[in-house]
Amino acid sequence: MFITKKNQKKIIIFAIVLLFLITTDFFRNFNNLIKFNYDQRIVNAYGFCSRESIGYLNYIKAKYKFNYNIRIINYIHAPNTSWSITNPREINKYSNELILLNYPGRKIKIKLNQNKINEYTINNFYFYLDKIKQNNYLEINSVKITGLSNPKIEIIIKDSVGNIIKNIQITNFKIFENRIVHLTNINFEELKNSFNLYLRLSGMNIKNNAQIFFITENKYNVSNYKIIDNYDTCYYLKK
């Protein structure tokens, strides 16, 4: 009874506006903009030395004030990170320096995901092409032979259109304590059009929780370079 007609209108307007602001998280966003500066928000969005590591790239760019482009290798499958330090005036010129992000060490262990029954895949395999060496092998855990037919491992590599560019059949592998470790030594220098890698198993079963890895030697070894800057698994190197 104390609410006049004029106040009623104001209350309704206020309610509509408030509802909209709550729905869009206006107050939290407002608070975040006050609490975190732009650089901190960039780290929140991309990670400092994790995920795309844009925080680390911005940090070394500010610290070393380089005006040239540097080749960046990110071992986590994430979009291109070079955009954050690109100098458009020198767009095609690269220094002899190198930035490694999320460096996994001397060996790269790539997990294969189950695609179908007895088929496993590394989607977007092309991502690894510039990071791996010919010295590579397969590791399959929790294997049990069915005994129904000859056990076989088939590795199929397809290009971006879906054409098979390499088909490798392996029958001479050994199983030791329900585990297969087989040297594959695929030369990816010759398979530059590789896009997806598939692995098919026949004549054997593996447990549901079994894991299959494609293990390969890292093309980059930090001990072969001069380390200019390092934070955790991110390196700024010079040849």
Partner 1 sequence: MIEIFFIFLSFPIFLLTMLVPLQINLGNLRDIKNILDKLIYNLILNLNFLFLLSVLPIKINQYCLLLAILYLLLFFYKYFIVNFNIGRIINLFLFFLIPGLVFISFAMIIANKLNLGWDAKYFYYIKSLFFFDGLSLETLNNFEHNKWHPHLGSFYWGFFWYLSPLKIEYYGRLFYLFIYCISLYYLTQKIFNKNIIANILFIIISLSLFNYERFSGLQEILIFSLLIIASYFLASSSTNKKFYVLFIILISNVILWIKSEGIVYILIILLCLMSKESINKRLKFITLISFASIILFKYLIYHTYDFIYNAQPYNMDYLRSLNIKVVSDKIKYIVPYLGYYSLKNYIFSLGVIILFYKNIFNKNKEYVLSFSIFTVLNILFIFLAYIIREMEILYSIKTTMERVVFTSSGFYLFLILSMINEKTKIKKNRIYIKLFNRFYRSIFSPKKNY
Contacts for 225 with CB less than 8 Å, ≥ 6 apart: 98, 235, 237, 238, 239
Chosen residue from 14, 18, 20, 169 binding partner 1 by CB under 8 A: 20
Q: Which residue in 228, 218, 216 sits closest to 99, CA to CA?
A: 228
Is residue 185 a contact point for partner 1 (CB under 8 A)? no
Closest CB 24 distance from partner 1, rounded Å: 4
Span from 18-26, 139-147, 174-182, 222-230 in contact with partner 1 (CB under 8 A):
18-26
Q: Give me 79's structure tokens.
A: 């979009």
Residue 55 main-chain phi, psi, to 5 deg: -60, -45
Span from 85-93, 107-115, 135-143, 218-226 in contact with partner 1 (CB under 8 A):
85-93
Chosen residue from 7, 15, 18, 25 binding partner 1 by CB under 8 A: 25
Which CB sits closer to partner 1, 184 or 196?
196
Cα–Cα distance, 171 to 145 (Å, whole number): 13
Contacts for 20 with CB less than 8 Å, ≥ 6 apart: 26
Contact string (CB under 8 A) for partner 1, positions 151-180, x = contact = -------x-xxx------------------
